[in-house]
Amino acid sequence: MRVIGYLADEPAARTFADYLYVQGIESQVESHMPEGWAVWVSEEDKLEQAASLLEVFLRNPAHPKYLAEGKGAAALREKQQRGEATYRKKLHDRRHLFRPLRDYGFGPLTFALIAISVIVALYSKMGSATEPIMRLFMTDFMVEGSFMGWHPGLPEIRHGELWRLITPIFIHFGVMHILFNMLWLRDLGSMIEARQSTGRLALLVVVIGVCSNLAQYYYSGPVFGGMSGVVYGLLGYIWIRGKFDPGSGLYLHPQTVIMMLIWFVACFTPLVPHVANTVHAVGLVIGIVWGYLSSLRYR
């Protein structure tokens, strides 16, 4: 789903959306001040056609044909709704399962990631009981007094336990640790799912999670966990993609970016001890680079 342009007022935007619908192009309109009313087109392969129609519409939005087509759109929608009535009775609307938190709602993959993290946190007593979740760490480790040891070279992963590359993201140490990570994941993950796709979010989470986990392991060992590397990666991706490709619909308020970057720096100081800063840094860099490279296609 992408923005193809903006119209000054809502009536014109609604009229044009109806016109697109009659042409077989699904679209949505949304207030996006100060630019005006944004026109979103759902299907990527119809973006060029829709943009051309918008260009013609802007030359003469009061042309009678647009109002006439709008009446036809109402009839088509009514017919489609009647045809889908039986189907809708058999399925739960997603809104009953995922209550909207913002205008883009609550993404299903985001919900699943949060649910898994909460279950792991409860099962491990907020990370204080490591034995029950040992197979979620990058590798097994032993603690005897002040001594901690593990076998180097990730032997479990080399012998097929590949899930360990990603599962440290579900381990959290303390209530505040999981609370802040889940709040950020809820908003950033849901935005990507709504504006792009669940598949895109899944790819981002896996790549950022695996790369940041490996970096942290080789820097400090296996005793770490948390979704914060992924969160910083999503932050960097949304920030840069929205900056260079406004039509993507991804957007972060500048104050949000500043606040997160201040916290990023603070975690490197003694004021915030015992933080896996390597996952933060690697996640943020991957997200920024990914956001920039993915924007080149639309610039």
**What's the pLDDT score for residue 43?**
80
What does the pLDDT read at residue 101?
45
128 and 158 inside one domain: yes
209-227 residue pLDDT tens: 999 999 999 999 999 999 9
Assigned domain for 101 exists = no
Residue 253 phi/psi, 5° resolution? -65, 140
Q: Based on the domain organization, do 121 and 82 belong to the same domain?
A: no
**166 and 127 in a common domain:** yes
- Examine residue 31 and state whether it is found in any structural domain, yes or no: yes
Q: For tokens 């006439």, name the residue.
A: 68
- CATH number of the domain enclosing 283: 1.20.1540.10
User: Quick check: 232 and 216 in contact, CB under 8 A?
Assistant: no
Within a domain: 98: no
- Taking residues 258-267, what's their average pLDDT? 88
- Is 268 within a domain? yes
pLDDT, mean of residues 157-161: 95
Closest by Cα among 169, 119, 168 to 139: 168
CB 185 within 8 A of CB 237: no
Picking from 26-40, 114-128, 242-256, which range would have the lowest pLDDT averaged per residue? 26-40
Whether residue 99 is contained in a domain is answered as no
Which among 249, 247, 244, 243 has a CA at the least distance from the CA of 190? 249
Using the predicted structure, report yes or no on whether residue 105 has a pLDDT greater than 90.
Answer: no
Which pLDDT belongs to residue 84?
Answer: 59
The CATH code of the domain that includes 15 is 3.30.70.2350
Return the structure tokens found at 149.
């040891």
Answer yes or no: is 140 within a domain.
yes
Between 50-54, 94-98, 119-123, 279-283, the lowest mean confidence (pLDDT) is in: 94-98
Q: Of 15 and 273, which is predicted with more confidence?
A: 15
**Segment 157-168 mean pLDDT:** 96
Return all residues near 297 (Cβ < 8 A) that are at least 6 apart: none
Question: Are 26 and 151 within one domain?
Answer: no
Please say which residue of 42, 57, 91 terminates a domain.
Answer: 91
pLDDT of residue 285: 96
Do 113 and 86 belong to one domain?
no
> Would residue 55 count as lying in a domain?
yes
- pLDDT band, residue 193 (cuts 50/70/90): very high
Q: Lowest-confidence range among 43-52, 63-72, 242-251, 288-297?
A: 63-72
pTM of the model as a whole: 0.69
SS3 sequence of the chain:
CEEEEEECCHHHHHHHHHHHHHCCCCEEEEEECCCEEEEEECCHHHHHHHHHHHHHHHHCCCCHHHHHHHHHHHHHHHHHHHHHHHHHHHCCCHHHHCCCCCCCCCCHHHHHHHHHHHHHHHHCCCCCCCHHHHHHCCCCCEEECCEEECCCCCHHHHCCCHHHHCHHHHCCCCHHHHHHHHHHHHHHHHHHHHHCCHHHHHHHHHHHHHHHHHHHHHHHCCCCCCCHHHHHHHHHHHHHHHHHCHHHCCCCCHHHHHHHHHHHHHCCCCCCCCCCHHHHHHHHHHHHHHHHHHHHHHC
Query: Does any domain span residue 103?
Result: no
Same domain, 124 and 258: yes
97 pLDDT higher than 70: no
Q: What is the mean pLDDT of the chain?
A: 86
Of 57, 91, 125, the one marking the end of a domain is: 91
Q: CA angle 62-249-259, nearest 5°?
A: 135
Domain that holds residue 64: 2-91
How far is the C-alpha of 282 from the C-alpha of 232, rounded, in Å? 9
Give residue 17's identity as a one-letter amino acid code: A
* 273 in the same domain as 153: yes
Same domain, 58 and 114: no
Write down which residue in 32, 64, 91 finishes a domain.
91
Name the pLDDT band for 93 (thresholds 50, 70, 90). very low
- The pLDDT, as a whole number, for residue 98 is 41
Q: How far apart are the C-alpha atoms of 38 and 32, rounded to whole Å? A: 6
Give phi and psi for 60, each to the nearest 5.
-155, 75
Query: In the predicted model, what is the mean pLDDT of residues 83-90?
Result: 54
Is 260 found in the same domain as 134?
Answer: yes
Better-predicted residue by pLDDT, 191 or 248:
191
Average pLDDT over residues 178-201: 93
**One domain for residues 135 and 81:** no
Q: Is 161 found in the same domain as 59?
A: no
Greater confidence (217 vs 97) lies with: 217
The closest alpha carbon to 216, from 151, 160, 165, 262, belongs to 165
Q: Tell me: do 112 and 16 sit in the same domain.
A: no
Q: Which band of pLDDT confidence, cut at 50, 70 and 90, is reported for residue 99?
A: very low
Per the structure, the count of domains in the chain is 2
| pLDDT given at position 201 | 96
